[in-house]
Structure 1
Amino acid sequence: MPHVFPVNKFRSLQTPFYYYDLTLFQETLDKVKKHGLSKGYHVHYAIKANFNFRILELVREAGLGIDCVSGKEIERAIEAGFSPDQIAFAGVGKTDDEIRTGLKYNIFSFNCESLQELEVLNQLAKEAGKMATVSVRLNPNVEAKTHKYITTGLNENKFGINPEMLPQLFEMLPGLDNIKLTGIHFHIGSQIRDLKPFADLCEKVNLVQDRFEQEGVKLAHINVGGGYGINYENPDEEPHPDFESFFGVFEQHLDVREGQQVHFELGRSLVGQCGNLISKVLFVKEGINTNFAVIDAGMTELIRPALYQAAHNVDVLTSEKKPKTYDVVGPICETSDTFRKGIQLPEVKRGDLVAIRSAGAYGEVMSSGFNLREKVKAYYSDEV
């Protein structure tokens, strides 16, 4: 059934703004707990998807950890009340200061993505008098069947260490006195709807783990990353991803050793559907072949359509008229500032409210001040 928005209350708020349905978010977290945490899996929320404090509060209360890709994200997680032993730190380009931040807090794991990074981390840990706990990110060369910009597990991607370099890794490890290798890490991409790539990943992980054991390296944990997608086309039909099937793939295909932990890094699949970008129609322009609905939200509030050619569902909240065809566009001085082209919507007029759906992930966090736009506010279902 269609999502119900508090439209009358929206009318009194300055648009555009982000609106988070915290009830829906809690329901999503409950499903992760039921199908993931209950099996003993460890789930780290990918804070890059949305670092809003209200979101983080519910994540922490649900018993999830945090996956970070910057030093500031580590500090945000600590500020939000997460324990350092819940924090994993990934990223292909960690600065020395960011590494020092992770060392300062004694985080759960540095997910290292190159042999040189291991050397730098070892040196910085030595200078700090610390022992750094490390997972090595390996590139499994698994096709994720997603947008090329968010594919991360192929040989030509910048992420991870190629398995062909494992002999060099094993040769290096005995000389890294301030590093403790406890796991291996993988991440093949983002917005993956087909579960087969995850099954393929499991097969690669099993082979890699065999290789580590042949070298006498026992792994305390395996981090299989995240990347599970959401239904952007029909968010009301699928408000929560099928976590039972997702975690079931790993339960079926991953060869987990006795006492070994399995870690995940889920972001978009947790927070994507609970967020919406609410906007107002500024003008309606009649074109030759289509009409333009010019709204007051732009690529500065949601860059995904411009960056990834993403198609977010658009709901008109204040019109039940017969449908017309529109290009829904924003006010930014770029032709790429277009949310949807040729979409059928109830006829709109100046002042009508629209909801751009599934904006909870990579919406607010990727907003910008281009055109000197001011950052817009966020509102929550328990306060509106």
Structure 2
Amino acid sequence: MDHFLYRDGALFAEDVPVAEIAAAVGTPFYCYSTATLERHFRLFDEALEGMEHLVCYAMKAASNQAILKTLAALGAGMDVVSGGEYARAIAAGVPGERIVFSGVGKTREEIHAALSGGIRQFNVESEPEMAVINEVALELGVVAPITVRVNPDVDAKTHAKIATGKSENKFGIPISRAREVYAHAASLPGLKVIGIDVHIGSQLTQLEPFRLAYEKVAQLTEELRADGHEITRLDLGGGLGIPYTRSNDAPPLPTEYGALVKETLGHLGCEIEIEPGRLIAGNAGIMVSKVIYVKEGEDREFMIVDGAMNDLIRPAMYEAHHDIVPVVEAEAGIEKRRYDIVGPVCESGDTFAKERMMEPIAAGDLIAFRSAGAYGAVMASEYNSRPLIPEVLVNGDQFAVIRRRPTLDEMINRDTIPEWL
């Protein structure tokens, strides 16, 4: 469920007409719903009720500080994967003890910053990384809390570019080597082993891969405890998918996921961390674009819009589907037409949808790309010298620009000309 609904034929974001925002900030732009963000966070929090837990929002999905502050106010932790994300979380007022540092390539500088500023734990991805964390911790005179990310070799049955839990993926250490690696970690004086980390992929639409992974984690927990390790925390990653279409083939609900966690891991007495990103932010955002031209083709029409692949890259990168709807609803019963919906970037890959059936659209009309809140603005670029587009947050009948569109001069003036030119 989201809070982008039609009223009297006009699309609203909560209690604000989307067309009103477009008139104020121009197109294209991203728009997020506070009510949807809060609802989705609470669904996860309530799903784990009865277990000691922390929901750490995976801020790589959408990292604007206004979004982070909205979730932090509800008690969310943050899952970060870079020094920049760590700095954003701190700037948004999230305390270090609620920040988990993940990612396969943590640098010495990033580790130093996190240990200096406060960190809940590092999710360690490799033995070389473990050695560096130990060295930096000893230099600072602190002990770094760690989990080790294990790769359970489970097929998440998701897109190959967002699968992370198979043996050929770059993430974690093979679960078959876990006891050996944990023994080594326990010998390093700058580290304190506190738990296990696992994350098998993103946009999972079935529970069975989670079950397979968590059963392996449960067995590993028992083995590590038998080896003398104090395993008190299990970081289960994120990955639960969202419905990108309005079909009935919806992914499992957070309540069903929570029941699975309790069934497979509840007997261990561990604190549970989960790191949802997409499910919290995905359907909490839309991208709004204006139609520039409608061009006749041989067997279809081309709807050319002012949003482009640099603004929303998911269709080009992942062949991802987004429902695309008019901001002004068409009259009932009007015959649909076939469109390829494309942007102005000079690449054939700048295509959002092919042969999409929609009500007739004309130049100047506004359209909305649904389910664009996750991996939208954060993956945007200035390709073709197109400025990053604004982000807007709606709260009831209010809206605010939470990242403005830079001017062309601001974008160009970031370049530095060498003296010899």
Above 0.5 in TM-score?
yes
Structure 2: distance between partners of 1:174 and 1:245: 36
Query: Could you report, residue by residue, the CA deviation over 1:54-93 in whole angstroms, capped at 9, with x for unpaired residues?
Result: 2111211111100000011111111111111101101101
Paired position in structure 1 for 2:261: 250
Paired residues of 2:335 and 2:359 also in contact (CA < 8 A)? yes
5 Å matches for 1:115-194? 115-194=127-206
Paired residues of 2:51 and 2:266 also in contact (CA < 8 A)? no
Tell me the CA shift for residue 196 of structure 1: 1.1
Equivalenced residues, count? 382
**Identity of matched residues, %:** 37
Tell me the SS of whatever aligns to 1:12. helix
Tell me the SS of whatever aligns to 1:381. strand
Paired position in structure 1 for 2:5: 3
Tell me the SS of whatever aligns to 1:266. coil
Q: Residue 349 of structure 1 aligns to which amino acid in structure 2?
A: A
Structure 2 length-normalised TM:
0.87
Equivalent of 2:272, from 237, 262, 277?
262
Paired residues of 1:71 and 1:101 also in contact (CA < 8 A)? yes
Structure 1 length-normalised TM:
0.95
Residues 33 and 173 of structure 1: CA distance in aligned 2, closer, same or farther (over 3 Å): closer
Paired residues of 1:170 and 1:215 also in contact (CA < 8 A)? no
Structure 2: distance between partners of 1:3 and 1:129: 54
| In the alignment, structure 1 residue 112 sits paired with structure 2 residue 114 | no
Tell me the CA shift for residue 12 of structure 1: 1.2
Structure 1: distance between partners of 2:84 and 2:182: 32
Structure 1: distance between partners of 2:186 and 2:209: 34
Tell me the SS of whatever aligns to 2:194. strand
The structure 1 segments of at least 4 consecutive aligned residues displaced by more than 4 Å after TM superposition are 235-238
Tell me the SS of whatever aligns to 1:3. strand
Structure 2: distance between partners of 1:100 and 1:236: 48
Paired residues of 1:319 and 1:348 also in contact (CA < 8 A)? no
Structure 2: distance between partners of 1:235 and 1:65: 32
5 Å matches for 1:64-79? 64-79=76-91
| In the alignment, structure 1 residue 358 sits paired with structure 2 residue 368 | no
Q: Residue 196 of structure 1 aligns to which amino acid in structure 2?
A: E
| In the alignment, structure 1 residue 284 sits paired with structure 2 residue 294 | yes
Paired position in structure 1 for 2:354: 341
Tell me the SS of whatever aligns to 1:342. strand
Query: Could you report, residue by residue, the CA deviation over 1:236-280 in whole angstroms, capped at 9, with x for unpaired residues?
Result: 997x9721111111111225423x201101100111101000000
More displaced stretch, 136-145 vs 162-171: 162-171
Q: Residue 280 of structure 1 aligns to which amino acid in structure 2?
A: K
Unaligned stretches of 5+ residues in structure 2: 7-11, 400-421
Structure 2: distance between partners of 1:95 and 1:26: 33
Residues 351 and 236 of structure 1: CA distance in aligned 2, closer, same or farther (over 3 Å): farther
5 Å matches for 1:6-155? 6-13=17-24, 14-37=26-49, 39-155=51-167
Query: Could you report, residue by residue, the CA deviation over 1:130-157 in whole angstroms, capped at 9, with x for unpaired residues?
Result: 2111010000111101000000000000
Tell me the CA shift for residue 318 of structure 1: 2.7
Tell me the CA shift for residue 52 of structure 1: 1.3
Residues 85 and 326 of structure 1: CA distance in aligned 2, closer, same or farther (over 3 Å): same
Q: Residue 365 of structure 1 aligns to which amino acid in structure 2?
A: V
Query: Could you report, residue by residue, the CA deviation over 1:308-361 in whole angstroms, capped at 9, with x for unpaired residues?
Result: 000100001235153100010111111111111111011111001000010000
Structure 1: distance between partners of 2:179 and 2:206: 33
Tell me the SS of whatever aligns to 2:202. coil
Residues 176 and 330 of structure 1: CA distance in aligned 2, closer, same or farther (over 3 Å): same
Paired position in structure 2 for 1:296: 306
Q: Residue 282 of structure 2 aligns to which amino acid in structure 1?
A: G
Structure 2: distance between partners of 1:339 and 1:119: 44
